[in-house]
Amino acid sequence: MYQTDTICAIATSMNSAGIGIIRVSGEESIKIVDSIFRGKNKIADCDSHTIQYGHIYDGDELIDEVLIMIMKAPRSYTTEDTIEIDCHGGILILKKVLSLLVKAGARIAEPGEFTKRAFLNGRIDLSEAESIMDLISSNSELAMKNSIKQLSGSLNKIIVDLRDKILYETAYIESALDDPEHYDLTGYPDELSNKVNSMIESIDDLIDSFNSGHILKEGINTLILGKPNAGKSSLLNTLSRRERAIVTDIPGTTRDTLEEQITINGVALNIIDTAGIRETDDIVEKIGVDKAIDSINDADLILFVVDSSRPLDENDEFIINKIMDKKVIILLNKSDLVSQINEEDICKKYNKPVVSFSSVNLDGLKTLEDKITDMFFSGYVKSDSTLYITNSRQASCLLNAKISLTNVLSSIDNMMPEDFFSIDLMDAYNHLGEITGETIDDDLANKIFSEFCMGK
């Protein structure tokens, strides 16, 4: 956060599918970008404040056609060497380029870090200090909240287990170094090599999952709300049955919310089905209702399902009052039955788009899908970009952990003494800790003392 290494991030908002800019800043930014860019000239040989045309490569694989803008120190926003990469291939490509930069030695920027650097390098007026400090603290908190929120229980457990294994091996090596007459490391490198290989396998699995989006919940958080029996679940089923691009099926944290990720016309949605909202004295049901109401805050888009075969009642009113300031599409469901609700009245009354719909004969489905994608491409609905950044940061932490563990393997192969292993093991441990938001403190000393009987 306070380092002067090279950082990178996506500088534009993530909602439009086309162009996006990645910004790289720091001492090594030119060297790093040069390592993945092929153009007429090396960036290092180009003048400041010029634009270069070329391609981004991952090894020999062409990734994207790009424009590169070069701003050499001190003539840039941060006053450091800064490169902006103008990508054209959409969100997935942006993500890919970002991960190439990380592989080449850059680090994903912390919230507000470009601005912080600009400030610390004397680029910004002092009167802005207060707002920058607020930005840093609030964004960091949000990022951490998101990071933890996004880790499903099982993913979290995998990382915690991995860290524990790494710490155990390090503690074993260190206790042998501290108390060499007590613990013997003969034959240990081979044993460690096997263990590290299996750790790398687990990390590879995690990286794969991140890349294919099995774990990521990127996309527009779309909440289906409505009173009981309005037809929420059938809407979810309709959307997901029609759309074969279901990526994952994540059981919710409680048995009464269900999430699915689907794409409509290329737009990713996380659809969250909720319990029917109504006033209730049933304790179990009430928990579900409260959960549904809580999730309104995090939603980017709400599909409010109304049973058009019945007049609006106090439960509908209750819900609509909770979501007036959100992006909402009102769905008049059961259009196959006799309608008790006038579409125009509703539209006027709540000033929200209304779509008439039937999950029985699929009337209005196309209209609904177009409406959703229109809202997205027009920028009316945005996905939460901090979510995206948190995800790519997590992925880069995994990558770094893997690199550190690979270093352990090469130290073993090169017959380095055992004390060299623990240096890279601890690096891997710390990289994984960044994902779960753990602080380091005295973990290693504690582990040595608790697991190994030390001292004379």
Partner 1 sequence: MSYVEESYDVVVIGAGHAGCEAALASARMGLNTICFTVSMDSVALMPCNPNIGGSSKGHLVRELDALGGQMGINIDHTFIQSKMLNASKGPAVHSLRAQADKAAYSLSMRKTMQETDNLTLRQAEVTELIIEDKKIKGVKTLSGATYHCRAVVICTGTYLKARCLYGDVIEHCGPNGLKAANFLTNSLLANDVEMNRFKTGTPARIDGRTIDYSKMEVQLGDTPVIPFSFSTKREDVQIEQVPCYLTYTNEKTHEIIRANLDRSPMYSGVIEGVGPRYCPSIEDKVVRFADKSRHQLFVEPEGLNTHEMYIGGMSSSMPEDVQYAMYHTVPGLENAKIVRNAYAIEYDCINATQLKASLEFKDIDGLFAAGQFNGSSGYEEAAAQGIVAGINAALKLLDKEPMILDRSNSYIGVLIDDLVTKETKEPYRMMTSRAEYRLLLRQDNADLRLSKIGYEVGLLSKERYDHVVEKERLINDEVARLKEINIGARKEVQELLESYGSIPLSNGIKLVDLIRRPELDYDKLAPIDPDRPELSDEVREEVNIYIKYEGYLTRQEKQVKQFKKLESKVIPQNINYDDVSSLRVEARQKLTKLRPANIGQASRISGVSPADISVLLVYLETYKYD
181 scored as a contact of partner 1 (CB under 8 A): yes
For the CB of residue 111, give the shortest distance to partner 1 in the complex, in Å: 8
Q: Are 387 and 217 in contact (CB under 8 A)?
A: yes
Question: Is the CB of 244 or the CB of 456 nearer to partner 1?
Answer: 456
For the CB of residue 137, give the shortest distance to partner 1 in the complex, in Å: 4
* Alpha helices per DSSP H over 213-261: 232-242
129 scored as a contact of partner 1 (CB under 8 A): yes
Tokens representing residue 171 in the block: 């503690």
- Alpha carbon 350 to its chain centroid, in Å, reads 33
Question: Is the CB of 321 or the CB of 450 nearer to partner 1?
Answer: 450
Question: Is the CB of 298 or the CB of 434 nearer to partner 1?
Answer: 434
Which residues, 426 to 445, sit near partner 1 by CB under 8 A? 439, 441-442, 444-445
Question: Is the CB of 344 or the CB of 441 nearer to partner 1?
Answer: 441
Choice from 80, 81, 110, 169 touching partner 1 (CB under 8 A): 110
Which residues, 140 to 169, sit near partner 1 by CB under 8 A? 140-141
Phi-psi region of 269 (alpha: psi -120 to 50; beta: other; left: phi over 0): beta
Question: Is the CB of 74 or the CB of 180 nearer to partner 1?
Answer: 180
| DSSP letter string, 283-321 | HHHHHHHHHHHHTTTT-SEEEEEEETTS---HHHHHHHH
Q: Which span (2-10, 97-105, 252-260, 319-327) binds partner 1, by CB under 8 A?
A: 2-10
Q: Which span (178-186, 199-207, 256-264, 317-325) binds partner 1, by CB under 8 A?
A: 178-186
- List, in order, residues 6 or more apart from 240 with CB less than 8 Å away: 246, 260, 262, 271
Question: Is the CB of 201 or the CB of 413 nearer to partner 1?
Answer: 413
For the CB of residue 313, give the shortest distance to partner 1 in the complex, in Å: 45
Count of residues near partner 1 by CB under 8 A: 52
132 scored as a contact of partner 1 (CB under 8 A): yes
Which residues, 50 to 89, sit near partner 1 by CB under 8 A? none
Residue 452 CA to residue 69 CA, distance in Å, equals 55
Question: Is the CB of 179 or the CB of 285 nearer to partner 1?
Answer: 179
Choice from 137, 197, 340, 378 touching partner 1 (CB under 8 A): 137
Q: What are the φ/ψ torsions at residue 68 (nearest 5 degrees)?
A: -115, 130
Choice from 2, 60, 153, 244 touching partner 1 (CB under 8 A): 2
187 scored as a contact of partner 1 (CB under 8 A): no
Residue 145 CA to residue 138 CA, distance in Å, equals 10
Tokens representing residue 436 in the block: 């779960």
Nearest to 211 by CA among 200, 203, 223: 203
Residues 247, 253, 259, CA angle at the centre, nearest 5°? 30
For the CB of residue 377, give the shortest distance to partner 1 in the complex, in Å: 34
- Give the three-class secondary structure for 116: helix
| DSSP letter string, 314-369 | HHHHHHHHHSTTS-EEEEEE-TTS---S-HHHHHHHHTS-EEE--TTT-TTHHHHH
* Contact flags string 390-419 toward partner 1, x per CB under 8 A: ------------------------xxxxxx
For the CB of residue 133, give the shortest distance to partner 1 in the complex, in Å: 4
4 scored as a contact of partner 1 (CB under 8 A): yes
Q: Which residue type sits at 329?
A: I
Choice from 297, 321, 351, 450 touching partner 1 (CB under 8 A): 450
For the CB of residue 42, give the shortest distance to partner 1 in the complex, in Å: 24
Q: Are 213 and 270 in contact (CB under 8 A)?
A: no
Nearest to 330 by CA among 309, 307, 306: 306
Q: Which span (28-36, 46-54, 122-130, 330-338) binds partner 1, by CB under 8 A?
A: 122-130
449 scored as a contact of partner 1 (CB under 8 A): yes
Tokens representing residue 370 in the block: 């177009």
Q: Which span (177-185, 242-250, 266-274, 323-331) binds partner 1, by CB under 8 A?
A: 177-185
Tokens representing residue 197 in the block: 């290989």
Tokens representing residue 222 in the block: 């779309």
Q: Calculate the alpha carbon distances from 285 to 255, 257, 281, 317, 370 in Å.
A: 11, 12, 8, 19, 34
For the CB of residue 418, give the shortest distance to partner 1 in the complex, in Å: 6
190 scored as a contact of partner 1 (CB under 8 A): no
Residues that bind partner 1 (CB under 8 A): 1-5, 110-113, 116, 119-120, 126, 129-130, 132-134, 136-137, 140-141, 170, 174, 177-182, 185, 414-420, 422-423, 439, 441-442, 444-445, 448-450, 453-456
